[in-house]
């Protein structure tokens, strides 16, 4: 009955999470709003676009009730830009995660403010009132931020980039090819050119996976001499974390256990230094 899995999300669980990402669909049939546990779906009225969770979009796609509009970051030019940034501009770190969505700030005309996350302009009030209107202290994060919709900015990889890209290519390849290749003239795109563009996107994604996997591998070299308490992996993706979780966390824990006696000695030395009101340097020497 109890869950037999080790701590940390598995690949399957990450894929499950990624299916909650919102994507944009162009419906081909009318469909009334459905009252789901996760909220009402928007009513589908062709040809108006609507944002739906990926699992629902794929279901509609399989039944030919809708076409999926791929996010801008999946465009070959955007992927090539990201690869360029990952290899040339900043070969050490991952490329930045997408910025939080912005909109005009009504209290400061002419200025935009971020809707969620950083700065927390919205969440400045910590009242926990359950009036069901706004989110009090709750900050939305992936997969509930619209980072895979058609409006998502190009040039940034969202947290679930690999899973969403794979799903879209596997189940909505024709839509991806039509949207990326024809630039609107979807119907006229021949099957040969759509195959080449899909191949291009797949190739770029594979390059990206390899570039970033190499970075994760080289960051493990830094793990060996990991002395501080914080290590940042800004911009890393969910699947990449799931893949290296066991290894990376195992190494960090191992380093901590090996250095436990050094750490206790240092802490004691620091405490003594504090008790005596300074001259911590000589204490530290005594500690080692």
Partner 1 sequence: MDIDDILREVDPTFHSVPLEKRDLQELTRAWVAERSAPELLPWPSHGFFERINDNIKRQIERVEDMTGDMDPKTNFALIVIQTELERYRYLVRSYLRARLAKIDRHALHYLSTDELRARMSDVELAYATRHQALLHNHYLSSFLSSFPPNLQNLNDSAGINMVEAPDLDSAVFVRLLRDTLVTAKGVEDDDAVTVKADDILILRWSDAKPLVEAGSAELV
Token digits of residue 162: 């690999």
Rounded to whole angstroms, the Cα distance separating 191 from 13 reads 35
Cβ proximity to partner 1: between 36 and 89 the closer is 36
Rounded to whole angstroms, the Cα distance separating 69 from 184 reads 11
Shortest reach from residue 196's CB to partner 1, in Å: 35
Partners of 39 in the β-ladder: 36
Cβ proximity to partner 1: between 103 and 191 the closer is 103
Shortest reach from residue 43's CB to partner 1, in Å: 12
Shortest reach from residue 123's CB to partner 1, in Å: 7
Rounded to whole angstroms, the Cα distance separating 254 from 227 reads 12
Nearest to 76 by CA among 215, 193, 238, 217: 193
Shortest reach from residue 16's CB to partner 1, in Å: 7
Rounded to whole angstroms, the Cα distance separating 268 from 61 reads 63
Cβ proximity to partner 1: between 70 and 97 the closer is 97
DSSP H or E segment with residue 236: none
Token digits of residue 213: 């996997």
Cβ proximity to partner 1: between 199 and 253 the closer is 253
Shortest reach from residue 9's CB to partner 1, in Å: 6
Shortest reach from residue 134's CB to partner 1, in Å: 4
Shortest reach from residue 181's CB to partner 1, in Å: 31
Cβ proximity to partner 1: between 41 and 87 the closer is 41
Cβ proximity to partner 1: between 84 and 257 the closer is 257
Cβ proximity to partner 1: between 157 and 201 the closer is 157
DSSP H or E segment with residue 18: helix 11-18
Q: How buried is residue 147: exposed, middle or buried, by Cβ count under 10 Å (0-12/13-18/19+)?
A: buried
Taking each helix axis from N to C end, the angle separating 238-258 and 191-224, rounded to the nearest 10 degrees, works out to: 10
DSSP H or E segment with residue 4: none
């Amino acid at each position: 009955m109890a869950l037999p899995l080790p701590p940390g999300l598995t690949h399957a669980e990450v894929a499950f999470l990624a299916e909650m990402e919102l994507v944009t669909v162009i419906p081909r049939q009318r469909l009334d709003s459905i009252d789901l546990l996760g909220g009402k779906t928007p009513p589908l009225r062709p040809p108006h676009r609507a944002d739906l969770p990926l699992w629902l979009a794929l279901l509609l796609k399989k039944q030919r009730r809708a076409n999926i509009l791929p996010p801008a970051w999946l465009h070959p030019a955007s992927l090539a830009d990201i690869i360029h940034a990952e290899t040339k501009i900043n070969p050490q770190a991952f490329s930045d995660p997408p910025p939080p969505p912005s909109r005009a700030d009504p209290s400061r005309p002419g200025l935009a403010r971020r809707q969620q996350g950083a700065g927390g302009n919205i969440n400045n009030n910590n009242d926990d009132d359950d009036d069901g209107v706004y989110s009090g202290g709750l900050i939305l994060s992936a997969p509930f931020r619209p980072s895979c919709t058609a409006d998502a900015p190009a040039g940034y990889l969202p947290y679930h980039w690999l899973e969403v890209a794979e799903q879209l290519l596997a189940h909505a390849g024709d839509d991806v090819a039509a949207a990326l290749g024809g630039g609107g003239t979807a119907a006229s795109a021949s099957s040969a050119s759509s195959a080449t563009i899909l191949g291009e996107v797949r190739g770029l994604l594979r390059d990206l996976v390899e570039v970033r996997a190499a970075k994760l591998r080289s960051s493990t070299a830094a793990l060996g001499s990991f002395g501080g308490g914080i290590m940042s992996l800004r911009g890393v993706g969910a699947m990449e974390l799931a893949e290296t979780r066991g290894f990376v966390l195992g190494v960090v824990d191992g380093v901590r256990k090996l250095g436990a006696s050094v750490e206790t000695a240092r802490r004691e030395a620091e405490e003594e230094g504090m008790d005596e009101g300074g001259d911590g340097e000589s204490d530290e020497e005594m500690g080692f």
